[in-house]
Structures are given as C-alpha cells and as structure tokens.
Structure 1
Amino acid sequence: MNTSTIVHEAYSFVCLSCGHGWERAYEIHHVTDLHGNQVCHYYHEGERVPSPFTRPRCEQCEGNRLRILRAGRVASATPPTGASAPTSGPSVRHWHLRLPRR
C-alpha cells in the first residue's frame, strides 16, 4: 500500500559568499512505497523541487556556501538603509545581509 503524509515547513537561507538571504516554504510529502521504503518529495508553489539540503545554491551568485536556518531568521533581519524587502511571491522573502569581512 502506498501511503503519504504531507507537512509544511519553511527554511531561511543565507549565502556565505555574497550575503544574500531568502526564505522559502515547502510542502513535503513523506511517502511509504509498496516496498516499505520511506521517501520525501519537496514541492514549492505546486512544483516538485529538489530537497533544500542536497546541493543548495544561492539564488543570486550561484554560490554553494549556504547556511540553512529555521524559518523567520532572515525575515527578522533589518534590510540595509533605504532598501525595502523585495518579494517575488507570498512564500518567498529576499534580503541582502551585510556580512563582516574576515
């Protein structure tokens, strides 16, 4: 028997290369197939996407040095002076974070 459980989760992402930050909400389908194997399928805005934990990339610079945080961490950051938080949909928030130079 094929069974499925659906959960909704959101994650914050920060690129450690360019400082770009964003949040994304996912609908996660936890599926048990006919052989008893458990699999997760991630969906964003109705479209199936790869897991955010496998090979994540920055939306701005395509960098692969990302920090993944719990939801709300990027939204609670203050945008740079004179800037507003651009949005490209209700489940995505974008922020540019200023990271200290080492």
Structure 2
Amino acid sequence: MAPEPRSVPETFAFACGDCGHSWEATFQVMFFTDPLDASGLTTQEYVDEAGRAIRSPLADAVCSECGGRRVNVLEAGHAEHTRHAEPEPRTRHKHRLHLPHRSPERSD
C-alpha cells in the first residue's frame, strides 16, 4: 500500500497583463513518492480550490475576466498592490499612419 501523499497549501497572486484584473488563489500541492522507484524522486501535483487536479498554475494561468494568457504570477499578497498600481484597463485604439508635415514653402 502506497503512503498517503504529503500536501502543502500555497497561495499565489495573479495579474492579467491584458485587462489588469488581479486575484489570488490557493492550491494544495501534493507530493508523491513512488515506493517502487529506488531513486526516491518526488513528483508534485496541484489541486485547485474545487478539488480538481490541474497543471501548474505557474505555467498555465488564464484570466477569468478576459480569458487572456498574459498572466503574471506574484507572491501572495501582491494582487491588491497590483490592482492599485495598474492604470485603467487598456483599450484598443486605432493606429494611424504618421507622415511628416509638409511645409507650404517646400515643393516636393
């Protein structure tokens, strides 16, 4: 019979680089050691707040507000600081072609 995996709670702060939304989430990090593996290597798995096994939130975070994948992972407690430091959400703007001004004296 395999021993019960060890688990450690970890909280991360996330900030979306697309819309500016920030949040925190706590995960259980489960550590497994294969008793048949002589090397004693340990693997880990993340479990979200709903109890689902997920890929590492550090590599696969998605913004719940805009679905963006430009998510920065921060230390716990930094999400609120990011929210106050982040400017208003970026809006898409129209790009315009900027040409040099012509002088009435020049006849190019």
TM range (shorter): 0.5 to 0.7
Distance 1:10 1:61, change over 3 A: same
Larger Cα-atom Rg: 2
Matched, 1:98 2:87: yes
Give 3-state SS (helix, strand or coil) of 1:75's partner. Answer: helix
Q: What one-letter code is carried by the residue in structure 2 that aligns with 1:98?
A: P
Matched, 1:6 2:41: no
Distance 1:77 1:57 in 2: 17
- Equivalent residues in 2 for 1:1-102, closer than 5 Å: 2-3=2-3, 4-34=5-35, 35=37, 36-45=40-49, 46-76=51-81, 97-98=86-87
Q: 5+ residue gaps in structure 1?
A: 80-96
Specify which structure has the higher proportion of strand: 1
- Residues 6-50 of structure 1: CA deviation (Å, up to 9, x unaligned): 111100000011101110001110111232342111112222222
Distance 1:67 1:99 in 2: 17
- TM, length-normalised to structure 2: 0.64
Distance 1:63 1:100 in 2: 13
Q: What one-letter code is carried by the residue in structure 2 that aligns with 1:62?
A: G
Specify which structure has the higher proportion of helix: 2
CA RMSD of aligned residues (A): 2.4
- TM, length-normalised to structure 1: 0.67
- Residues 24-78 of structure 1: CA deviation (Å, up to 9, x unaligned): 0011101112323421111122222221022221111111111100111113556
Which runs of structure 1 show a deviation greater than 6 angstroms over 4 or more consecutive aligned residues? none
Percent identity between the aligned chains? 32
Q: 5+ residue gaps in structure 2?
A: 91-108
